[in-house]
Amino acid sequence: MNKCKEKLMHGIFLVCACISAAAVAMICFFLFANGLPAIREIGTADFIFGQTWKPLENKFGIFPMIIGSIYVTAGAIIIGVPTGIFCAVFMAKFCPEKIYRIMKPAVELMAGIPSIVYGYFGLMAIVPAMQNIFGGSGKGMLTASVLLGIMILPTVIGVSESAIRAVSDSYYEGSLALGATSERSMFFVVLPAAKNGIMAGIILGIGRAIGETMAVVMVCGNQSILPDKLTSGIRTLTANIVLEMGYAADLHRDALIATAGVLFVFILIINTLFSILKNRSSDQ
């Protein structure tokens, strides 16, 4: 009876894995089957490195959107990752029980807030703050980075805290027994032991930052130009797709699908690089 149950569960897990793999394969096929012909028609260099996006003139250069996505994601990482890891360290080892009972549900609630609500918060709170500090419209690369940094916090905190708690207490206690302070034991013993889990949280956070659309659309300025300063208006790859897909047709529509394909490859490259980095760290 137990063997039958094991075989049944094995079959269910296999089917679920195959469905997941098939879904990814179908997405890849759709993106590249519709996007590659458009890239060939526009020209690979003109499409990837072109700096002009004017669909009415059949000019489809996405380089400003690529740079905008990279800058905004980098800003979100700089703001959100250190904050998230420090918060995870506090919650895992130093947070009093009474405070933890409040902080943990609050972090989980942040993960469930819709992106449009984050965008409205950014529009009503962060944009006016940027206007007071830097002048101008307040919408731009820095505003989007701050908002995305806030949005990736629950992902980074949740996964990092779980990774820290998974490390045996003997690591921490042994370091204390050798004379290290609590902070030194945490940052030089426990965190290195939990680095694979923390790296996974960072990768998930980056994935959300790159793929976020609605919140970014509301605060980034939506200007398809190369930014020359932190407060410059930008347009990301995802924002470009959502703003124009509703009325696009023919080559314009295929160019937007090709943009999604570029975004897909972009995320795949980032995940691959992080996996290589994690494997090298594990081998050392």
Mean pLDDT value of segment 1-16: 82
pLDDT score, position 88: 92
Q: 69 and 32 in one domain?
A: no
In a domain, 89, yes or no: yes
**CATH code of the domain containing 209:** 1.10.3720.10
- How many structural domains comprise the chain? 2
Q: Which percentage of the chain shows pLDDT scores above 70?
A: 96
Average pLDDT for residues 108-120, to the nearest whole number?
A: 88
For residue 181, the model assigns a pLDDT of 83
Task: For the chain, give the mean pLDDT.
Answer: 86
Q: Identify whether 252 is part of a domain.
A: yes
Residue at 214 is within a domain: yes
Residue 73 lies in a domain: yes
pLDDT tens-digit readout, 43-69: 888 888 888 888 888 888 889 898 888
In a domain, 51, yes or no: no
- Inter-residue long-range contacts of 198-201, CB under 8 Å, 24+ positions, other chains counted: 198/85, 198/88, 198/159, 198/160, 198/163, 198/164, 199/274, 199/277, 199/278, 199/281, 200/159, 200/163, 201/84, 201/155, 201/156, 201/157, 201/158, 201/159, 201/160, 201/163
Q: Within a domain: residue 56?
A: no
Cα dihedral sign, 70-71-74-75: negative
Q: Are residues 34 and 139 part of one domain?
A: no
Residue 39 lies in a domain: yes
Report if residue 57 sits inside a domain: no
Please give the pLDDT value at position 147: 92
Whole domain around residue 155: which residue ranges? 65-283
Chain segment 124-157, per-residue pLDDT in tens: 999 999 888 888 788 888 999 999 999 999 999 9
Residues 156, 245: one domain? yes
With a cut of 80, say whether residue 161 has pLDDT above it.
yes
| Whole-number Å distance between alpha carbons of 47 and 108 | 40
Mean pLDDT of 219-248: 84
Provide the pLDDT for residue 86: 92
pLDDT value of residue 148: 92
